[in-house]
Homo-oligomer: A and B are copies of this chain.
Amino acid sequence: MPVLDEDEELTAVRVAELYYDEGRTQDEVGALLELSRWKVGRLLAQAREQGIVRIEIVHPRARRLGVERALRERFGLADAVVVPAPDDPTDSDDAETLARVAQAAADHLAAMRPVPRTLGVSWGRTLAEVADRLQPGWAHGVTVVQINGGVTLNRRPGTAASTAATIAQRADGQVVLLPSPAILERIQTKRAIEADRVVADALARARSASAYLFTAGAADDRSVLVESGYVSTDDVAELVRKGAVGDVLGRFVDADGNIVDPALDARTVGLGLDGLRAADTAILVVAGRAKHDIARTAVASGLCTVLITDDTTARALLEDS
């Protein structure tokens, strides 16, 4: 498509005004500006091409289909869902962003075909929001398995458990909880708890789930792992020093997706990252500026097949080679 010269550009603007603002038909515009109908059509096409005419869909539940396509192609994803970030560019309006992404995740889950027989889920603020936005009856008879440990140490108890339970309940399904802390103090305790029949059973079912729904955490003090008391702020600082960009299923990884601290990782209960990498369907839900780095790592190192996120994060992923 040839570029418009300056005169044509101005004509294109006038044409676009009459066509889109005034609602004239293409030959009316042609008659008015003494152009052929076809010339008018071509100018309109070029104006859209060059961004003189911008058509945007303004709605919290709108999606960015173009960006989604780019993500799929760039990272070989099976699917991607990108929702617009709130306009408000001043303060980090992360609550609204999270709400939109969570809604999109809920929609995506409800629209999944075939419906997974067993769905493995992690936990955290993001997934709590997703669970909350699922319509009762979003599916029927889905078994939901908690895939990483999460007996909350402080705060209101049961966030981890209730996320899984809510998702299951709203699908008239069973829930399989993983009754274990996320990270244990000593490796021996971890081995012992994994030997427990209930825990072992849950882990087995986690490994055989037909789909996973999980989120990722940034390596900072606002991480749920910190707030829950599993790791201290000092630990986080140390992990960051070693290259950690965030955690997936409680496992801290560096920019390349490698485990940062194998000893810590060995004390972490739940599905391993290879479990995700081997999955047919692994849906990562991630929102907000703080999580750009971990999102990039997760996507680039093949932890997910489906990414659900906000526009800003998506663009951040696409921007660097």
B16 and A57 form a contact (CB under 8 A): yes
Q: Which residue of B lies closest to A22 (CB)?
A: B65
Check A38 for interface membership: any CB of B closer than 8 A. Answer: no
Instruction: Say whether chain A's binding surface is mostly helix, strand, loop, or mixed.
Output: mixed
By Cβ-Cβ distance, the 10 closest A-B pairs, closest first, are A21-B65, A13-B59, A20-B55, A16-B57, A55-B55, A13-B62, A52-B59, A54-B58, A54-B56, A17-B65
Which residues from chain B contact A10 at a C-beta distance below 8 Å?
A: 61
Cα-based distance from A65 to B62 in the complex (angstroms): 27
Interface residues on A, range: 20 to 34
Judging by beta carbons under 8 Å apart, are B59 and A21 in contact?
A: no
CB-contacts of A37-68 with B (<8 A): 47, 51-59, 61-66
Instruction: Flag A61-96 by CB within 8 Å of B: 1 or 0 each.
Output: 111111000000000000000000000000000000
A62:B17 contact, CB within 8 angstroms: yes
| A20 interface neighbour in B17, B51, B57, Cβ under 8 Å | B57
Cα–Cα distance between A21 and B55 once the two chains are bound (Å): 8
Q: Which residues of A contact B (CB under 8 A)?
A: 9-10, 13, 16-17, 20-22, 47, 51-59, 61-66
How many angstroms between the C-alpha atoms of A21 and B65 in the bound complex? Answer: 7
- How far, in Å, is A209 (CB) from chain B's closest CB? 29
Cβ contacts under 8 Å, A47 to chain B: 57
B57, A52: Cβ atoms under 8 Å? yes
Are B58 and A52 interface neighbours, CB within 8 A?
A: yes
17 further A-B contacts with Cβ under 8 Å, apart from A16-B57, A21-B57, A21-B65, are A9-B59, A10-B61, A16-B62, A17-B57, A17-B63, A17-B65, A20-B55, A21-B64, A22-B65, A47-B57, A52-B58, A52-B62, A53-B57, A53-B58, A54-B55, A54-B57, A54-B58
